[in-house]
Chains A and B, each alone.
Chain A
Amino acid sequence: MILLRRYGTLLALALIIVIFAIASPHAFGTVANLVNITQQMALLAIVAIGATLVMVLGEFDLSVSSVVSWAGIASVALFGTGLGLPAVIALVLVSSLLMGSISGFLVARFSVPSFIATLAFGTVIGGFTFWVSNGATLFSGIPPAFRDLGRGMILGIPVPTLWLAGVAVIFWLLLDQTEFGRRLYAIGGNREAARLVGLPVRRDMVVAFALCAGLSGLAGLLLTARLGSAHPTGGGGYLLQAYAAVFLGMTAFREGEPSIPGTLVGAAIIAVISNGLTILGVPSFLQDVMTGAIILAAVLIRHFGRDGD
Chain B
Amino acid sequence: MTEASGTGPFLALSGLIRHFGATKALDGADLVIEAGSVHALVGENGAGKSTLIKTLSGLYQPGGGSIRLDGADIAIDGPKAAEALGFRFIHQELNLVPHFDAVGNAWIGRRHPRRGPFLDHRAMRRRVAEIAARIAPDLPLDRPAIRLTPGQRQMAEIVRALIEPARLVVMDEPTSSLSEGEAERLHKVVRRLAEEGTAVLFISHRLDEVLELCGSYTVLRNGRTVGAGPIAGIDRAGLVALMSGGASDHAAVDPMRDRSAPPAGRSERPGALFSADLAFGPANARFTLEARPGEIIGLYGLVGSGRSSLLKILWGASVARGTITIAGRKLVGGPADRIRKGIAYVPEDRRREGFAATLSIEDNLALAHLADFRAVAAVPISSRGKIRQFAAGVGARLRLVAARLDRSPMTLSGGNQQKLVFGRWLGRTIRVLLVDEPTRGVDVGAKAEIHAEMRRIAAESASVIMATSDIEELLALSDRVLVLQTGRLIAELGGTTLTRSAVVAAAFGHAPSPSGPAVPRPSEEFIA
| Nearest-Cβ distance from residue A260 to partner chain B, whole angstroms | 16
Number of interface residues of B (CB under 8 A): 30
User: In the complex, are the beta carbons of A189 and B368 less than 8 A apart?
Assistant: no
| Complex: chain B residue closest to A200, CB-CB | B336
**Cβ contact within 8 Å between B381 and A177:** yes
A194 contacts across to B, CB distance below 8 A? 356, 367
Shortest distance between the CB of A249 and any CB in chain B (Å): 15
Q: Is A186 an interface residue (CB 8 A)?
A: yes
Given contacts A179-B381, A180-B380, contact A196 B358 (CB under 8 A): no
B359 touches A189 (CB 8 A): yes
Asked whether B376 is an interface residue with its Cβ less than 8 Å from the other chain, the reply is no
When distances are taken between beta carbons in the complex, the residues of chain B under 8 Å from A198 are: 334-339, 368
Q: Is the CB of B353 within 8 A of A185?
A: no
Task: List A residues 14-61 near B (Cβ within 8 Å).
Answer: none
Q: For B338, list chain A residues within 8 Å (CB).
A: 198
Q: Is B413 an interface residue (CB 8 A)?
A: no
A54 CB to closest chain B CB, in angstroms?
A: 15
Q: Which of B353, B358, B368 contacts A188 (CB 8 A)?
A: B358
A180 to B356, CA, bound (A): 15
B345 touches A199 (CB 8 A): no
Interface residues of A in 170-185 (CB under 8 A from B): 177-180, 182-183, 185
Most buried by A among B315, B335, B336: B335
The distance in angstroms between the C-alpha atoms of A55 and B318, with both chains bound, is 27
B289 part of interface (Cβ distance < 8 Å): no
Q: Would you call B354 an interface residue if the criterion is a C-beta within 8 Å of the partner chain's C-beta atoms?
A: yes
User: Is A190 within 8 A of B347, CB to CB?
Assistant: no
Among B315, B337, B356, B374, contact of A193 (Cβ-Cβ < 8 Å): B356
Q: What chain A residues lie within 8 Å of B347 (beta carbons)? A: 193, 196
A186, B363: Cα distance in complex, Å: 9
Q: Are B334 and A182 in contact (CB under 8 A)?
A: no
Q: Which of A239-267 contact B (CB under 8 A)?
A: 255, 257
Residues on A with beta carbons closer than 8 Å to the beta carbon of B359: 182, 185-186, 189
Residue of A nearest to B368 (CB): A197
How many angstroms between the C-alpha atoms of A178 and B363 in the bound complex? 12
Tell me if A192 is interfacial: C-beta within 8 Å of chain B: yes
B327 contacts A by Cβ under 8 Å = no
Q: A179-B382, A182-B370, A186-B367 are in contact. Are A195 and B358 (CB under 8 A)?
A: no
A-B contact pairs, 10 of them (CB 8 A): A182-B382, A183-B370, A186-B363, A186-B364, A189-B359, A196-B335, A196-B353, A196-B354, A197-B367, A199-B336
6 more A-B residue pairs beyond the given contacts A177-B381, A197-B368, A257-B358, with a C-beta to C-beta distance below 8 A: A178-B381, A179-B380, A190-B357, A195-B317, A196-B347, A199-B336
